[in-house]
Structure 1
Amino acid sequence: MEIYENENDQVEAVKRFFAENGKALAVGVILGVGALIGWRYWNSHQVDSARSASLAYQNAVTAVSEGKPDSIPAAEKFAAENKNTYGALASLELAQQFVDKNELEKAAAQLQQGLADTSDENLKAVINLRLARVQVQLKQADAALKTLDTIKGEGWAAIVADLRGKALLSKGDKQGARSAWEAGVKSDVTPALSEMMQMKINNLSI
């Protein structure tokens, strides 16, 4: 399984996947149910819907990243109206904008919305990691730890361990933080992340 050093790379991978395969996914759905409800109509409708959602998503997040006037409300509207992976990705983008503005409560709410909008486990893991980071910043360490508990898969183990240590340290639990980081170092981890966690362990002794 691929090992992730941070969730940003996985976000980009998910975005690329849907940009490149959105139409193919729609066609896959068509092939499964087309015979039941009229293949021709369903084919046209689903492909058009996937194409429209993809284009609308790209337009919304591009406007946000360029700082265009009213782009945030427009992206919020898109995320609220699209209960799918595109809506979840828009929520991720909005949450980052809110974090950059130190509007952490808004960021957390947007991430919660994104979680409800997708069934993709990797994307959920990314969103939960972002949410846990925000919860730590909000001094909600217990909530962050519960959020981290929902993230499964060996590929995420090191990042989860790193953030778990940070959450525990914010509670004053140095031993818990040490244990989390030591587990992270022993996991299948990238050299850069391993070195960073080892530095944190060393700093606990200072």
Structure 2
Amino acid sequence: MEVYTTENEQVDAVRHFFAENGKALAIGIVLGIAALSGWRYWQSHENTALTEASASFQQASAALVDNKADSVANLEKFAQSNTNSYGVFAALQLAEHFAQAKDFANAEKQLTLASQHAKDDNLLSMVNYRLARVQLQENKLDDALKTLDNVKGDGWMAMQQEVRGDVLLAKGDTKGARDAYSKGLDSKPSQTLLTMLRMKLNNLSS
């Protein structure tokens, strides 16, 4: 690195540097400002879009709860056109609606859509957990086992193993079901689930 001994030499060096690099620096500054402006615009656009999505979701969701005409169709349209978390919530609500009506095919359709759009790992595990339960109701046992593989996280382990045990039992695999229920008991389940798992294990022993 050069060392400049006088103030004039330092000034001349700075002038020389800008003479050679001034254009590149100017372009860099312009690009930096443009990038910053673009980033701020994108953030503003995203925030506006999420605010609008939130309001639309609340309106469509309330209509479904109130059993208003065309409420299911409107919420379905919302779920399909929104790939953010609100679209996932809409699909989850629709899946619950269909499951209560014993329309498991449409419940599976909505949960599959939700699984494609869910970006948060915990939310994705919840979607897949519900999807596996619906697939069990449809007797799609192999599909349910594959779906359960995507239910991850310690907080979901006990619930995942309970459904896995139910699926394996439906397939006639009593030993596999017993192992799954036992793993669920070892996964620190809630008190309610603990009681349920013990009851299922006891039924296998009887």
Whether these two folds match at TM > 0.5 is: yes
Q: Which moved more, 1:41-50 or 1:127-136?
A: 41-50
**Residue identity opposite 2:161 in structure 1:** A
Query: When the two structures are superposed, what TM-score results if normalisation uses the length of structure 2?
Result: 0.80
- Mapped to 2, the partners of 1:42 and 1:136 lie a distance apart of 42
- Mapped to 1, the partners of 2:179 and 2:39 lie a distance apart of 58
Unaligned residue ranges in structure 1 (runs of 5+): 1-32
Counterpart mapping for 1:45-56 below 5 A: 45-56=45-56
TM-aligned CA deviation for residue 84 of structure 1: 1.2
Percent identity between matched residues is 42
- Mapped to 1, the partners of 2:83 and 2:42 lie a distance apart of 19
TM-aligned CA deviation for residue 38 of structure 1: 5.9
Larger RCO of the pair (alpha carbons < 8 Å, separation 6+): 1
TM-aligned CA deviation for residue 130 of structure 1: 0.7
- Mapped to 2, the partners of 1:46 and 1:111 lie a distance apart of 25
Structure 1 residues 153-179: Cα deviation after superposition (integer angstroms, max 9, x where no partner)? 111100001110111111111111111
CA contact (8 A) 1:135 1:141 kept: yes
Q: Which residue of 1 aligns with 2:8?
A: none
TM-aligned CA deviation for residue 42 of structure 1: 3.8
Look at both structures and tell me which one has the larger radius of gyration over its CA atoms. Answer: 2
Q: Which residue of 2 aligns with 1:115?
A: 115
- Mapped to 2, the partners of 1:78 and 1:196 lie a distance apart of 37
CA contact (8 A) 2:92 2:111 kept: yes
- Mapped to 2, the partners of 1:145 and 1:38 lie a distance apart of 42
Determine helix, strand or coil for the equivalent of 2:67.
coil
Q: Which residue of 1 aligns with 2:76?
A: 76
Unaligned residue ranges in structure 2 (runs of 5+): 1-33
Counterpart mapping for 1:9-24 below 5 A: none
Q: Which residue of 1 aligns with 2:185?
A: 185
CA contact (8 A) 1:34 1:43 kept: no
- Mapped to 1, the partners of 2:123 and 2:39 lie a distance apart of 32
Counterpart mapping for 1:5-154 below 5 A: 35-37=36-38, 39=40, 41-154=41-154
**Residue identity opposite 2:71 in structure 1:** S
